[in-house]
Amino acid sequence: MSASEKASPDVTFDPEREIDPGRALVPAVLKLNERRVDEGFWPKIRRVAAKVPFAKEALSVWYCAKDDDTPLAAKGMMLAALAYFVLPIDAVPDFIAGLGYTDDAAVFTALMAIVGRNLKPKHKLAAKRDIEKLRAE
């Protein structure tokens, strides 16, 4: 196979484009996802903590993704899932009553099956503490 026939990964990205999970570990995409999560996670979780049944899991994943001891591959997948959660436009728009967060829940369910073993008791405890505070507001 010649060099011109070899497929090379597309490392360009557009912040407005849908996230491709297969590119979650490309350094530029990892950095973009981290920025999206840093800017959007807490405002979104505050708004929806009482509405979505997987809010505690999302918080656990956030704590795990921010932990320096979490392996980079797991962190990349977690940041991709969290970035998907905070994006205003996704497969099923969040404003659709009863259905809006089903795609986000599916993403978190799949994520937990793949990298859930990286969640430590301290991540789950911090998430439990925060979700109780948020739901009391």
Position 7 in a domain = no
CA distances for 90 relative to 19, 103, 115, 124, angstroms: 9, 8, 22, 26
Position 50 in a domain = yes
> Locate tokens 């997987």: which residue?
54
**What is the maximum alpha-carbon separation in the chain?**
62
Asked whether residue 3 carries a pLDDT value surpassing 80, the answer given is no
Position 4 in a domain = no
pLDDT tens by residue, 61-107: 999 999 999 999 899 999 999 998 998 776 666 666 567 788 888 99
Q: What is the structure's pLDDT at 91?
A: 61
Structural domain harbouring 100: 22-136
Q: What is the structure's pLDDT at 88?
A: 74
pTM of the model: 0.76
Domain count across the chain: 1
Q: Which of the given ranges, 32-36, 62-66, 93-97, 110-114, has the highest pLDDT on average?
A: 62-66
Position 14 in a domain = no
